[in-house]
Amino acid sequence: MNKPILELQGVKTIVNKGTSSETTILKGLNLKINEGDFITIVGTNGAGKSTLFNVIGGNLHADEGKILHNGQDITNTTEEQRTAFLSRVFQDPKLGTAARMTVAENMLLATKRGERRHLIPRKLKSNMDRFTKLAATMNNGLENRMNTATGALSGGQRQALSFLMATIKRPDVILLDEHTAALDPHTSLNLLHATNERITKDHLTALMITHNLEDALEYGNRLIVLKDGEIKADFNAEQRKSLTPEKLYTYFEG
């Protein structure tokens, strides 16, 4: 059997250590992420969803346990080192893009993620056709704004660009941190459809935090319920078919 592409073994995180408000967020969490998994993650506020992503991303280190990437221990590697195989899209459309650079320039920058930078020609023109075709897959007119400064885009277009930048190099793992939550319902649905199509078509591996239980039931091949820093349930695609938002909500209770 192949190794998981990413695995968390007994991961524990503590905040405010040594103070009266010391709190354990993740409580010995175990999780195996296999290549091609598209995992939706739900849980109440304070369940540990963002902490889980921060630990995976490397901007928060585990106090106990291990994190393995293709079987190799990366527990103590930095956030910068992990960009070689991991990318993340945040809730805020302003994060993940450079406002003064054009859409095409941002996409070119994303092709260098995790690499050493050198003083070499940009090769923007030679990549323009490829970038334009990628932008068209977002179905929101982004392909018509390739030379527009990113700060002038709508929130939906800017978030679509963030998603393209996160996936352009086919990272081993993509973290989608409520990436549609700040958008209006129509724009959010459009980006979710484009996200699902890209991940499924290109067989990418992704984890997506959402507060929308219907979206959690519709997208991906696995659904994880996180509660009090522990995985309360981990449903595969077949098990998820018998769930409704009402049934799923019961896992948050008690």
Residue 39 above 80 pLDDT? yes
Q: Give the Cα separation of 179 and 192 in Å (integer).
A: 9
Q: Give the CATH number, domain containing residue 139.
A: 3.40.50.300
Whether 42 is covered by a domain: the verdict is: yes
Directed axis angle between helix 185-201 and helix 155-167, to 10°?
Answer: 10
Domain assignment of residue 136, yes or no: yes
pLDDT of residue 1: 53
Q: Quick check: is 180 in a domain? A: yes
3-state secondary structure of 41: strand
**Residue 189: enclosing H or E segment and its boundaries?**
helix 185-201
What is the span of the domain harbouring residue 31?
A: 6-252
For 94-248, strand residue ranges (E) read 173-177, 206-209, 222-227, 230-236
Does the structure show a pLDDT above 70 at 190? yes
126 versus 174: the higher-pLDDT residue is 174
Residue 191 in any domain: the answer is yes
Report the domain count for the chain.
1
Structural domain includes residue 88: yes
Residue 119 has a pLDDT of 42
Average pLDDT for 183-204? 94
In a domain, 69, yes or no: yes
Write the DSSP symbol of residue 151: G
Mean pLDDT computed over 31-48 = 95
Res. 173: pLDDT tops 80:
yes
- Domain presence at residue 1: no
CA distance 37 to 203: 8
pLDDT at 108: 92
* Residue 147 located in a structural domain: yes
CA distance 57 to 162: 16
pLDDT above 60 (res 121): no
